[in-house]
Amino acid sequence: MAKRILCIEDDAGMRMSIRMMLEMVGYEMEEAKDGKAGVAQALKAPPDLIVCDIRMPILDGFQTLEELHKHESTAQIPFVFLTGEDPRTHLRKGMNLGASDFILKPIDVDDFIKAVQVRLEEAEKRKNESQRAIEELSESITRALPHELRTPMTGILGLTELLQSYDRMNPEEVKEIAKSLFDSAVRMNQTLEKFWIHTQCLLLPSDQAKLTASRQKGSRDAQEIAKRVAERLATSANRPADLVMSLSPISIAISERYLEHILQQLMDNAFKFSVPGTQVVLSTFCINGMGTISIKDQGRGMSEDQIKNIQMFMQFDRARHEQQGLGLGLMIAKRLTEMHGGNIQFGSTPSIGTSVTISFPLLTGKS
C-alpha cells in the first residue's frame, strides 16, 4: 500500500508542485491550505508523514505541530517543515517541538524525495524498535526483578521475625533493627524506581508527545537541580566534605524529573565507586550552545572496553566491588540524555577515576 503524505501549504501552486513530486515516486498526497485544516485532516485520517509550511495564516507551522502533538493519534507522525528562510533561524525551535526535518524553498526534487524516504524509513524503524522494546522490557523485568527484590525482602522478613521478640530486647537493639528495616525498605524502593526508569528508557522514544513535552518544559535552573541531587547523595554517603561544586546558571531542554533521574544515577555512581576522602567534583556551564553538566570522581574507573559495552543490567567487576544496585545507572543516563537531543561522554582510567559530561540543547529563549 502506498504511503500517504499530508501537505499543509497555503500556496496552491506549491501544493501542486509537491503533489507532482510525490506521485511521481508512488506516494499518495492529501492536502490542506492552512494549519487548522491540516490538523483536522490529520486527526480524521492520520497520514504516514506530514509536510508543512512554516509561514501560514490561522495556524503557522509551529502551532500546527504543537496542536498535532496534543493528540495520541498524530503525535508520532514524522513532520517535515518547508521554509523559504534560512533553516537555522527556526532550527532550534522546530527540533524542540519535535520536527523531523527542514526543507528549503525552492524545493530541490531529489533532496525532497530523499528526505521523505528517510523520515518514513525512520518512522518504520521506530515502530519496530518500540515493539522490540516492549518485549525486551517484559523479559528483563521477568528475569531481574525477582532477584533484585529478594535480598531486601529477605532482610525485611528476617528483621520483622526478630522484632516478634522485642520484649526481650533493650531499646538500642530495637532501634538498630528499625534502622536496618528502613535501609532495606529504601533499597527495595530504589530498585523499583530504577525499574520505572528502565521502563521510561524503553517506552519514551515511542511516545513522541511525552518526549516533546519534556523538552519544552525544560529545566530553567538546572544548576540548582544538580546541586540539590549532589548534596543529598553526598550526605547519604556520609561524604559532604568530599563534594566540590562549580555552578554556572544553565537552562536546558529536558524536564526536571528526567534530569533529576539522570543526575541521581551519575552522582550515585560517583560516590559509590570512589572512597571517602577523595573529591567528587560537580560543574555546570554553557559551551558551544549547549548546557553542560560535568561529574568527576577519583574512584575505580573503567577500561575502554567497559565504556564501549555499557549495556542494560551490566555490573562491571561485581565480584570485586560489592555494591548494591542493578548496574543500570550509566545506561539510563545515556539513553535519557540522547532521547532529549543531548550527548554524553565518558572519560575513565582504571584505578584513577571517571568523568562523565552530559550536554543538552539550551531551553528556547535562554542563553
Q: How many domains is the chain built from?
A: 2
d(C-alpha 166, C-alpha 82), whole Å? 74
Higher pLDDT, 313 or 363: 363
Specify if 275 maps to a domain. yes
pLDDT of 23-66, one tens digit each? 999 999 999 999 999 999 999 999 999 999 999 988 999 999 99
Question: Of 127, 146, 162, which residue sits at a domain end?
Answer: 127
pLDDT at 327: 46
Pair 239, 353 in one domain: yes
Pair 123, 235 in one domain: no
Specify if 362 maps to a domain. yes
pLDDT at 41: 94
Most confident of 155-159, 266-270, 278-282: 278-282
Query: Which residues constitute the domain of residue 31?
Result: 4-127
pLDDT at 315: 40
Pair 123, 261 in one domain: no
Q: What is the mean pLDDT of residues 156-177?
A: 85
Strands 243-247 and 280-287: parallel
Higher pLDDT, 232 or 191: 232
Specify if 141 maps to a domain. no
pLDDT of 56-104, one tens digit each? 988 999 999 999 988 878 888 999 999 887 767 777 788 777 788 898 8
Looking at the predicted structure, is the pLDDT value of residue 144 above 90?
no
Q: What is the mean pLDDT of residues 122-138?
A: 73
pLDDT at 320: 39
Specify if 202 maps to a domain. no
Question: Can the peptide bond before residue 152 be classed as cis, meaning omega within 30 degrees of 0?
Answer: no
d(C-alpha 287, C-alpha 264), whole Å? 23
Least confident span in 69-83, 113-127, 251-265, 307-321: 307-321
Pair 251, 117 in one domain: no
d(C-alpha 62, C-alpha 209), whole Å? 14
pLDDT at 358: 95
pLDDT of 283-316, one tens digit each? 999 998 899 999 999 987 766 666 655 544 344 3
Could you report how far apart the first and last alpha carbons of the chain are, in Å? 47
Domain of 82: which CATH number?
Answer: 3.40.50.2300
| Predicted confidence band of residue 365 (pLDDT cuts 50, 70, 90) | low
Question: Of 127, 143, 159, which residue sits at a domain end?
Answer: 127
Pair 367, 224 in one domain: yes
Pair 253, 359 in one domain: yes
d(C-alpha 178, C-alpha 193), whole Å? 22
Give me the helix-helix angle, 329-339 and 256-272, nearest 10°. 150
Question: Of 73, 96, 127, which residue sits at a domain end?
Answer: 127
| Predicted confidence band of residue 257 (pLDDT cuts 50, 70, 90) | confident
Specify if 197 maps to a domain. no
Q: Is the dihedral of CA 105, 111, 116, 122 positive or negative?
A: negative
Specify if 164 maps to a domain. no
- The share of the chain scoring above pLDDT 90, in percent, equals 43
Helices (H) and strands (E) in the chain, counts: 11, 10
3-state SS class at 253: coil
3-state SS class at 231: helix
Q: What is the mean pLDDT of residues 189-215?
A: 72
pLDDT at 52: 96
Specify if 192 maps to a domain. no
pLDDT of 210-244, one tens digit each? 777 788 888 999 999 999 999 999 998 999 999 99
pLDDT at 63: 94
Based on the number of CB atoms within 10 Å of its own CB, is 277 exposed (0-12), middle (13-18) or buried (19 or more)?
exposed
Query: Which residue's entry shows cell 523520515?
Result: 119
Neighbours of 211 (CB within 10 A): 22
CA 132 to chain centroid: 18
Based on the number of CB atoms within 10 Å of its own CB, is 111 exposed (0-12), middle (13-18) or buried (19 or more)?
exposed
Higher pLDDT, 279 or 195: 279
